[in-house]
Amino acid sequence: MKTRSETQTAAKPVDVTIIDTSLKPKAPVNKKRKLDQISSSVPPANDPVPKTYKKLKTVDKIKSSAIASNDAKATSDQNQHIQSAIPAAKAPKLSRANSKKNKEEQKQEENKNDKDQGQLGALNQKADQLYKNISKFFVPKPFTQLNDKFGSLTKYIEVTVLELLNKVKEEEINNHRKKGEEENCPICMCELYENLEKMSEQEIKEMHEKQIKQELPIEVVVMSKCTDHCYHKECLVAQMGQQECIRCAVCSQIYGVLTGGMPKGTMSWKLTPKNKNYYCDGYKDFGVWEIRYDFPDGIRNGVKYQGTRRRAYIPDIPEGREVLTLLVKSFERRLSFLVGTSVTTGQQNCVIWNVHHKTNTHGGSSCFGYPDPTYLNRVKLELADRGVFLENIHEVEAVTLNGNGQSYVN
Ligand SMILES: [Zn+2]
Ligand SMILES: [Zn+2]
């Protein structure tokens, strides 16, 4: 008895072109900050996010409620951040009030503060999940405006000259940094604060106080999901340009939703229940999800490109359902395919894979088929690198509940 995959045409090698979707900037070598240069190195804006989805009603319903609740969460996160930031900025005043207490009491207070890393802000940060990974030295400011696109996506913290110095000092103490080594902006490669090493403690303190009083601008920021690495704010804003997302060049965190250049097409998926003659090798006791992709021929930037039809297979195990759901997300973000040059035929302007798929139920890795025990995990990592994650359990349900579904990107 032949399996379904064997009745298909012989396995053809699959085009897999992994483009570097990272938004890593090409840092100018010149030490002088050259914003013009940075702006011009920003890649062109991505295609607009797909507007048309033809999906099962249940999918739409569950999805839109999930999106709505995410938005609500984001807003409440931001409010929480601003609220929790207020007491943090009042911290210096509180410690000044302490000076009226007798010395011993003050000393005890200070010791306690030292134990708490000397930062009231750190306590606020602990309470605030948003900044859970950020260095304790960086405290949210109540006056930071996060209303613009860059602010709402990255929820950055403004970093004063003193906060940066304290972080640098600790890195030196822990031997994570050579003494006197500059703290540079990863984009323009210039010092974050010019001549920080040459400034006296008094100068730094005065500058910090002016920054907190908003008498001096704060040009240095740390983004909310990063840890200890800072940038010039204007370098990040220039790098982001018209795009709806930004990726940290140091830790690869993605802020916003990364979208790709996949042309219009359809993805449909269908479950064939457990069948002794049709299964993914290695998953004999499970059904098979068959994915079909259909991309018609089209024209892009005045150039004709050739469409394609593809099939892919996933075993109906919990991890397989997760991967299917991630692939739907990846498709809807235009990341699964792209228009490019086929690795196998050398033909230009055709629709090619941009995420690894299994195009056979059998035959092993060399035939782009199963068995391949690490495939599901690998594709999850591949998608995570582009910011495609599961946000809640309902997403998997919405995609798999009816045993079939379809998504359309215009
Ligand atoms: Zn910079
Ligand atoms: Zn980062």
Please tell me the predicted confidence (pLDDT) of residue 45: 39
CA–centroid distance, residue 190 to ligand 1 (Å): 6
When pLDDT is cut at 50, 70 and 90, the band that residue 57 belongs to is very low
Please tell me the predicted confidence (pLDDT) of residue 290: 98
Q: What digits encode the pLDDT tens for the residues 254-268?
A: 999 999 999 999 999
Q: How far apart are CA 237 and CA 159, in angstroms?
A: 16
The residues placing their C-beta within 5 Å of ligand 2, an ion, are 226, 248, 250-251, 253
Q: Which residue has better confidence, 94 or 338?
A: 338
Which two tokens mark 246? 């930004």
Domains of the chain with CATH codes: 4-21+260-409 (3.30.390.130), 84-98+110-255 (no CATH)
CA–centroid distance, residue 24 to ligand 1 (Å): 13
CA–centroid distance, residue 224 to ligand 2 (Å): 8
Please tell me the predicted confidence (pLDDT) of residue 63: 37
Q: How far apart are CA 11 and CA 294, in angstroms?
A: 18
Please tell me the predicted confidence (pLDDT) of residue 181: 78
Which two tokens mark 374? 């690490």
Task: Determine contact, residues 28/34, Cβ cutoff 8 Å.
Answer: yes
Please tell me the predicted confidence (pLDDT) of residue 353: 96
For helices 201-212 and 161-173, the axis angle rounded to 10 degrees is: 130
Report which of 182, 188, 181 is spatially closest to residue 31, judged by C-alpha positions.
Answer: 188
Q: In a 10 Å sphere around its CB, with 0-12 CB exposed, 13-18 middle and 19+ buried, how is residue 388 labelled?
A: buried
Report which of 242, 243, 248, 241 is spatially closest to residue 260, judged by C-alpha positions.
Answer: 243
Average pLDDT over residues 225-239: 95
Residue 26: is its pLDDT beyond 60? no
The pTM of this model reads 0.62
Q: How far apart are CA 141 and CA 212, in angstroms?
A: 8
The pLDDT > 70 percentage for the chain reads 69
Q: Which of 67-71, 192-196, 229-233, 251-255 has the lowest mean pLDDT?
A: 67-71
Q: What digits encode the pLDDT tens for the residues 360-395?
A: 999 999 999 999 999 999 999 999 999 999 988 899
| Closest ligand, as measured to the CA of 253 | 2
Please tell me the predicted confidence (pLDDT) of residue 1: 41
CA–centroid distance, residue 79 to ligand 2 (Å): 23
| Closest ligand, as measured to the CA of 249 | 2
Residue 288: is its pLDDT beyond 70? yes
